[in-house]
Amino acid sequence: MMHPSAHTDTFTRDNLPPASDWPKLVFSLPSLDCAPRLNCVDPLLDIHVREGRGDRAAVRSLDESWTYAELQTRVNRVANVLVTRYGIEPGNRVLLRFPNSPFSAACYLAVLKCGAVAVPTMPLLRAAELRTIADKAQVCCAIVETRLADELSGLGLDTLLLSDDLKDQLGNADSQFETVQTAGDDVALIAFTSGTTGKPKGCMHFHSDVMSMCKTFSEQVLKPTPDDVFIGSPPLAFTFGLGGLLTFPLYVGASTVLLESAAPPLLAEAIAATGATICFTAPTAYKILLADDHLDKLSSLRIAVSAGEHLPKPVYLEWMERTGTTMIDGIGATEIIHIFLSMTGEGDKPGSTGVPVPGYEIRIVDDALEDVAVGEPGLLALRGPTGCKYLSDSRQTDYVKAGWNLTGDVFLRDEDGHYWFVARGDDMIICAGYNISGPEVEEALLGHAAVAECAVVAAADEERGHVPKAFIVLAAGTEASGSLTTELQEYVKQAIAPYKYPRAIEYIDALPKTRTGKIQRFALRQSS
């Protein structure tokens, strides 16, 4: 039974999946109990000012820093402008289009504080992609960085509010705003999937879901303190970034560094400049950060969190050896809102993704949802306090079966309860009757000094049905050649079972990726 909604615009509740298609929500930690009335901005922001911590640093960039009190004032003023000038009501969907910055964080929190529903979007999305999102979410208002407004000009939104205009209006706005007392199970945000498998889906998350990710992965695994300084590369529009760069630090009263541009060289410089202690980014970035000219800038870090793609074992081992900084690999999903399976920093097995995050139950199952034997690969199934709730989408029943979320990942569990990534369900390559994991071949290739990045997919073959084909981005100073191809193939044969070697290799300048940095293997398969 859901709590009475505070939304006057009932669109999101009206478009939740039928109750029969929901995952079973499990609240196994006492802290996860959902309050009937909850607006997540109160425990993330307002409580710190109310309890005397308003003078602590909250959000910062390389150019400015705001305390919790200053952030609250800006959030309140933005909320007042939205409500009093533009008539935003609880439940209205507000599209956000910003690079990471203190001001974008204030706008995100203001939308939630006034009871509206945030629809965050990646800054690099184009008009056609934004139209799909705006139409599906029935967005009535967009707040957009002024220089990114062109892609939204033809969408016909009721309100298109440019950041420069909004900032001009804040001076006359009231600095006090009474937080709208939403229900804990009112929708707070609609996060659209990044499109690794095709058309994006809108994942609806409650105010309680936002708090659940803070109380599970962050509180139980990451264990940050108020003295930590968070930093990283994922956009706030990506739930990996929302947690790692906004809600996790705010929940404990820590500070976060929000960078508009966080390519690895710039990220390294920012870590050194800010004394950051916890970093969130993708495996590819960590590999680049291991370059000699970046290493000396990372000394302040105490934890490095990797997600978005499987972390190759060679990258993990090199990071641990050369930096001595704890690395935590994890897997999450936009549908679950954040990481549900991860390393812990203690007793980790190199190459393993780790163990279930407290609060989540995980099984490895076959197509009939029966448990497979220890050591056997199967589909990853999970349930916990969060789960898939697609916005009016028939694919809900593809993701949720019998109350379990099925991510599409193939894993195996060892006798010690550690989980090992095998492949995405569609990344398994069946070659002459043998099952070959593309990521396993990728991991072997990445051990060779000539390989900077790679992806391995199935390529059609008349004799074998399919064969592994590797797309390789070469390290700087390395040239493609037939002899290098032979060398790489022989290298893989020595690293893993010889039948798994890439029978075809294509050298490319860059791998196709989503806006969040995930490799689009489906695009490579289409070109094979």
What is d(CA 167, CA 158) in angstroms, rounded to the nearest whole number?
19
pLDDT recorded at residue 215:
98
pLDDT recorded at residue 521:
83
For residue 322, being part of any structural domain is answered with no
- Identify the CATH number of the domain in which residue 517 sits: 3.30.300.30
| Structural domain containing residue 503 | 430-527
CA dihedral angle for residue 109, residue 110, residue 113, residue 116, rounded to 10 degrees: -100
For residue 243, being part of any structural domain is answered with no
For residue 240, being part of any structural domain is answered with no
Regions of the chain with pLDDT less than 70? 194-198, 426, 432-435, 515-516, 528
- Identify the CATH number of the domain in which residue 150 sits: 3.40.50.980
Q: Annotate 251-296 with DSSP letters as a single string.
A: HHT-EEE--S---HHHHHHHHHHHT--EEEE-HHHHHHHTSHHHHT
Query: Which residue, 125, 155, 182, sits at the end of a domain?
Result: 182
pLDDT recorded at residue 522:
80
Q: Partners of 471 in the beta sheet?
A: 455, 506
What is d(CA 238, CA 362) in angstroms, rounded to the nearest whole number?
23
For residue 101, being part of any structural domain is answered with yes
For residue 464, being part of any structural domain is answered with yes
Query: Which residue, 117, 149, 182, sits at the end of a domain?
Result: 182
For residue 319, being part of any structural domain is answered with no
Residues in Cβ contact with 108 at an 8 Å cutoff, skipping those fewer than 6 apart: 96, 118, 120, 236, 246
pLDDT recorded at residue 518:
76
pLDDT recorded at residue 375:
96
Reduced to 3 states (helix: H, G, I; strand: E, B; else coil), residue 144 is strand
Token pair for residue 286? 């960590």
pLDDT tens profile 468-513? 999 999 999 999 999 999 999 999 998 887 888 999 999 999 999 8
pLDDT tens profile 386-396? 999 999 999 99
Q: Give the total number of structural domains in the chain.
A: 2
Query: Which residue, 132, 162, 182, sits at the end of a domain?
Result: 182
